[in-house]
Structure 1
Amino acid sequence: MEKGKQSESLMTAEELTGAVHGTFVALAENIKNFSFTSVVTDSRNVTSGSLFVPLIGEFQDGHKYIPQAIEKGATVIFVTENIYEENSKYYMRLLSENHGVSFIVVKNNLYALQDAARAYVKKFPDLVKVAVTGSSGKTTTKEIMSSILRQKYNLVATEGNFNSETGLPLSVFRIRKEHECGLFEMGMNRENEIGEIARVLKPNYAIITNIGTAHIGILGSRENIASEKKKIFTYIKENGVAVIPQEDDFADYLARGVKGKIVFFGKNVPQEKSGVKFIEDLGLEGTKFSVDGIETVLKIPGSYNYLDALACIALAKSLGMDAKQITDGIKELKAPEGRSKIETVNVVNGRMITLLEDCYNANPDSMSSAIEMCANLKVKGRKIFILGDMFELGKDSVTMHSKIGADVVVAKPELTIFVGRDMENAAQAARIGGLSNQKYFENLEENNFNELVNFLLDYIKTGDFLFVKGSHGMHLEKIIKKICVEEE
């Protein structure tokens, strides 16, 4: 290894092994030349110098991809203790054949990844650590906050939706010495996931966007969701800030026991406290408002997205950012890919329409809010909705999908296409409510997909407004790609 390579490693062998309570297994020369410059859990993403963490899931065991990871340049690999003990000769052979590789044997690869990430974050004691969670609006809030924070700080932020028990640790390994602030999104799919990843980052500034019904099928109740989301405030110290939605019915509960300063955000927070004055809802063009007298426009439409911006403004002010920095950040914001993305598009049938694409995620709260927004929009042409299943609602799925059907009746679009087994409940509720112009497809398998696309292309006219929303696993974006002309 070249001289000076050791200093490039994200952690030393001693730091990493100590953090994960692991056993270092390597040829003698690798102890001296130990180095890794990135961390991955997917062998396809391995590059030269990666630490590869092979996770064990319900259907896959990442250990079987260790040879491929080594071939692609992995220099350090976690191996689960019981797997190593059962196959020690195999792993020693891999070491003898690949002199640039070190194994660290650990009890549990997932927890080792989290422990390593927690130790890595400690190497940056001056980093301003900001976290965002909530039942809906997390990624939009993170994107707004990111655009604002970049006006003051050299920022590292969560990319995409790397916000889970594995995504958050991988995200923090992107921190480098030049970064002044880290902004990280925290999601959950099970009990105590927020607790675990908050322990990794230990944020001193945090936003909870809302307490809704996303994942209620897993956690059982909004009370349990609130209890889980609140864990993001666990490590906030006296000089830190917790940003809480004032109009949420769990606001008081979320504020209880917080050691740092509590800042409430919302449309009913007085201007003298927030510094924000609402000016006008611009429909598809977004929301116009001012911060301490400086006007700006949030280009993402919808009152729920405006609420996300209010949360970001509250936190930015708590960090000492001025109105110009805040409004400049909002002006520079672009809608996250697949989330409330509005554009004028050419359809393959020669028509031109306005498209509101929100295919990245869906839960009852965000779906109802988006439908209400679309209902109030003033557009030249007809309104067409394509709505897909909302996942992880458990025993409440029938009721909550039925409510979406009732929401559509109130919105009165000219055409609604419901997609998915659960959305059949919405279609039935809409039919009972008097919505006649609708189509239902159980899934997007080939025959259904082709029928849906052909029907849509026959129906669409120039000037129409098309709104598409559903859980990411429904892959509604396939419809958009099929009907729209690709930009050159």
Structure 2
Amino acid sequence: MESNRETPGQQILFRAGELAGLIGGTCRGDLDAPICSVVADSRAAAQNSMFVALRGERTDGHRHIPEAVQNGARTILAEIAQKDAVLASIHDLDEARASCLIFVESPRDGLQQAAREYRKRNTLLKIGVTGSSGKTTTKECIATVLSACYPAGTVAMSPGNLNSDIGLALALFDIRPGHTIGIFEMGINRRGEMDELANMYEPDIAVVTNIGTAHIGIFGSREEIAKEKSKIFACFDGRQKALLWENDEYKTYLASKVRGSVEYFGLQSTEGLGQVENLGLKGWKVEWKNQRIDFALPGQHNLLNACAALSIANLLHLDPVCASRGLSSTRPLFGRSEIREGKITVLQDYYNANPDSMAAAIEFFAEIPSRHRKILVLGSMLELGKESARAHEKVGLMAGAVGSNAIFLFGDDMIAAETALKSSAFKGTLFWTSDMDELSDAILNFVQEGDLVLVKGSRGMALERLTRAFEEEKLIAPSVSKVGGPHAS
């Protein structure tokens, strides 16, 4: 039988019995079991981790408790209603004899409570980022600035786009005693979720990138989105700061919800910002506080993300030399404004899409000077609800008006865009399908050397399959994309 030993070098976040007391759970097993990490995926369980058995749309974590235990989990957070089934599932496992089971009404709520309690034990300045679009890139820009200005090992950040109630909770357990500042992303796709995120994290500085139309199918209107996003300020008591986009339609409403000070970012509001030169696909050359920043992320929307990072540097009185060096090190994230070059040039921006980000991508694409053909590949925008048909129709009309030589549409929702284009003045090649193989074949047969291609769509459309096809045909070089800057692992 494997013993419940503590691995040298592991930090103990909680003892099982201690955590149960904090979150109101009942225990069975070794109350002294160390919790050194927290996971919600049984495959990620490791020595002395706690596995949280969550119910999802596709699976129930309780079914995977035996696997988690066999992989090293020594504490299980499970639903009290599943107690008998859980006990039966691990009854014959030798590894379970050294484990502790914590039973609660809701493992999801218990996870959030545990994350909040753990975060409160660590003293650090907390920056939170939310908004309809640009959250992850803005977080990465801020992180590169902070990592260049603070000592190594002192900046905590949420990895990738872990920004939901579960994602943020898991990310908070990565905070360590040496961290003095944190930058975490806070995203919502249901009502009430921001209340939970704010309660877990309690940001000292809250950045709202913009209020747009992402998830409008869930919230119903931009007004409701603004209302939900404003709850990031719910825990403000007068000492905190909000950072808002200077041109946001809802900035006055958002500012009215802030108990604390309000600052703005943007081309007019970011203090110290000088001349800005658009380098097209190569990004931007930015002058700030007598420093030159070579910012590699193209497009006006990414320039605003950089402005937010520089405004954070101003708020924290960071050294302009260090901050500029940090922002210059920012690199495109996978699937976000990523340039792929070879026989053709591909701008892949398919990690997410909503009407605002789609419009920004098409506008940027239209501004790129090119002697060769321009091709738009647009995938469906998801989670738009009753606004979907109208939003896709607008995208179609916009796409047809920017001088593209061809437009390839992918996904059922894009039928509305195809219909709009057929009745418009667009004279180029138009193709629609909901089948990826058909899309790949059509585009591969159409493209020729020198073409400039934009690939944009919601994450659920999995448009990376198309760029893999480009790689296989040696039309573009293999990806060497890194997430963020040198701070990222």
Contact 1:95/1:102, CA 8 A, preserved across alignment: no
Secondary structure (helix, strand or coil) at the match of 1:387 reads strand
Provide the residue aligned with 1:467 in structure 2. Answer: 454
Q: Which whole-Å CA distance do the structure 1 matches of 2:434 and 2:9 have between them? A: 53
Cα distance in 2 for partners of 1:399, 1:198 equals: 33
Residue 105 of structure 1 deviates from its aligned partner by 0.6
| Aligned partner letter, 2:35 | F
The answer to whether residue 333 in structure 2 is matched with residue 336 in structure 1 is yes
Partner of 1:109: 107
Find 1:417's aligned residue among 408, 413, 416: 408
Given that residues 95 and 101 in structure 1 are in contact (C-alpha distance below 8 angstroms), is that contact kept between their aligned partners in structure 2?
no
Aligned mates of 1:134, 1:88 — CA distance in 2: 39
CA distance in 1, matches of 2:7, 2:387: 58
Which residue does 1:39 correspond to in 2?
Answer: 38
The amino acid that maps onto 1:130 is: I
Distance in 2 of aligned mates of 1:421 and 1:469: 15
Residue in 1 that maps onto 2:320: 323
Structure 1 residue 120 corresponds to structure 2 residue 118:
yes
Residue pairs, 1:74-89, within 5 angstroms: 74-84=73-83, 86-87=84-85
Equivalent residues in 2 for 1:164-183 (5 A)? 164-183=164-183
Q: For the structure 1 residues 119 and 157, does the alpha-carbon distance in structure 2 shift closer, same or farther, using more than 3 Å as the test? A: same
With the length of structure 1 as denominator, give the TM-score of the two structures: 0.92
> Partner amino acid for 1:376?
E
Tell me which residue corresponds to 2:486.
Answer: none
1:294 matched to 2:297? The reply is: no
Corresponding position of 1:18: 21
Return the offset for 1:420.
0.6
Q: Name the residue aligned to 1:8.
A: 11
Change (3 A) 1:82 1:212: same
Distance in structure 1 (CA, Å) of the matches to 2:62 and 2:453:
45
- Is 1:358 the equivalent of 2:345? no
Residues 80 and 452 of structure 1: is their aligned pair in 2 closer, same or farther, counting only changes over 3 Å? same
CA 381–116 in structure 1, closer or farther in 2 if over 3 Å, else same: same
Do 2:340 and 2:347's aligned partners in 1 also have CA atoms closer than 8 Å? yes
Q: Quote the Cα distance in structure 2 between the aligned partners of 1:285 and 1:117.
A: 40
Q: Which amino acid is the alignment partner of residue 441 of structure 2?
A: N
Match of 1:482 among 445, 459, 469: 469
Structure 1 portions without partners, runs of 5+: 346-351
Q: Using the alignment, how far apart are the partners of 2:448 and 2:8 within structure 1?
A: 61
Structure 2 residue matching 1:87: 3-state secondary structure: helix
Q: How many residues align?
A: 469
1:376 has 2:367 as partner = yes
Contact 1:241 1:318 in 2 (8 A): no
C-alpha distance 48-323 of structure 1, shift in aligned 2 (>3 A)? same
Q: Which secondary structure state, in structure 2, belongs to the residue aligned with residue 98 of structure 1?
A: helix
CA 1:384/1:188 → structure 2, altered by over 3 Å: closer, same or farther? same
CA distance in 1, matches of 2:465, 2:290: 43
8 Å CA contact retained: 2:6, 2:48: no
SS in 1 for 2:162: coil
The 5 Å alignment of 1:84-103 reads: 84=83, 86-87=84-85, 90=88, 93=91, 98-103=96-101
Contact preservation (8 Å) 1:162, 1:185: yes
Residue aligning to 2:254: 254
> What letter corresponds to residue 26 of structure 2 in structure 1?
T
Question: Which residue of the partner structure matches residue 349 of structure 1?
Answer: none
Deviation at 1:429, TM superposition (A): 1.2
The Cα offsets for residues 170-195 of structure 1, whole Å up to 9 and x where unpaired, read as 00011111112111111111001111
1:429 to 408, 417, 420: 420
CA distance in 1, matches of 2:116, 2:407: 47
Residue identity opposite 1:255 in structure 2:
A
Could you say which residue in structure 2 is the equivalent of 1:132? 129
Q: Over residues 426-482 of structure 1, what are the superposed CA-to-partner deviations in whole Å (9 max), with x where a residue is unaligned? A: 1211222222323333323xxxx3332233222222211111010001011101101
Structure 2 CA distance for aligned equivalents of residues 88 and 472 of structure 1: 35
For the residue of structure 1 that corresponds to 2:287, the secondary structure is strand
After TM superposition, give the deviation of residue 236 of structure 1 in Å: 3.2
CA distance in 1, matches of 2:216, 2:437: 33
The residue type equivalent to 1:325 in the other structure is: C
Specify the code of the residue in structure 2 equivalent to 1:333.
T
Deviation, 1:89, is 5.3
Q: Distance in 2 between matches of 1:169 and 1:457?
A: 43
